[in-house]
Amino acid sequence: MGEAMLSAILGKGLSLPRDIAVSDISEARRQHLEQKYGVVVMSDNRQAIKRGEVVVLAIKPQNLAGVMAELSGQLKPAQLVLSIIAGATIKTLSSGLKHNRVVRAMPNTPAQIGEGISVWTAASEVTKQQRG
């Protein structure tokens, strides 16, 4: 689903590839994303979050605890965290990341072809501009 979002963001011109950093533990996956989309790729989540205003967490639920431990306290106060992790509540994310600007979204599979919808909810600390 993360790749579907990436494809849509770039396809609609909402961002430039050079402005997007993607972190993945798989070298093959990083190579694929770099070649297909031209985005900046890396294996270090901490380095990746330094680059953006919005941090998208598109990981498997079983990897969440490790990623939260790695990123806990590392996010800038103004950064927005957008989670598409199934079953991860805003409270869990905020607590684990030590960060309060969290949005939780659940895109559906038609999003893979740019025709889906997403239901989302945000922590009260998410600004009006970030909600827009």
The closest alpha carbon to 46, from 20, 72, 65, 77, belongs to: 72
pLDDT value at 114 more than 70: no
* Residue 111 confidence (pLDDT) above 60: no
Q: What is the mean pLDDT of residues 97-125?
A: 77
Q: List, for residues 1-44, the tens digit of each pLDDT value.
A: 889 889 988 988 999 999 999 999 999 999 999 999 999 999 99
Which residues does residue 35 pair with via DSSP β-bridges, in sequence order? none
Element holding 30 (H helix, E strand) = helix 27-37
- pLDDT digits 0-9 by tens, 49-97: 998 899 999 999 999 999 999 999 999 999 999 999 999 999 999 999 9
Chain Cα centroid distance, residue 40? 14
- By C-alpha distance, which of 97, 21, 104 is closest to 64? 97
What the chain holds in terms of domains, given with CATH numbers, is 2-131 (3.40.50.720)
What's the pTM?
Answer: 0.86
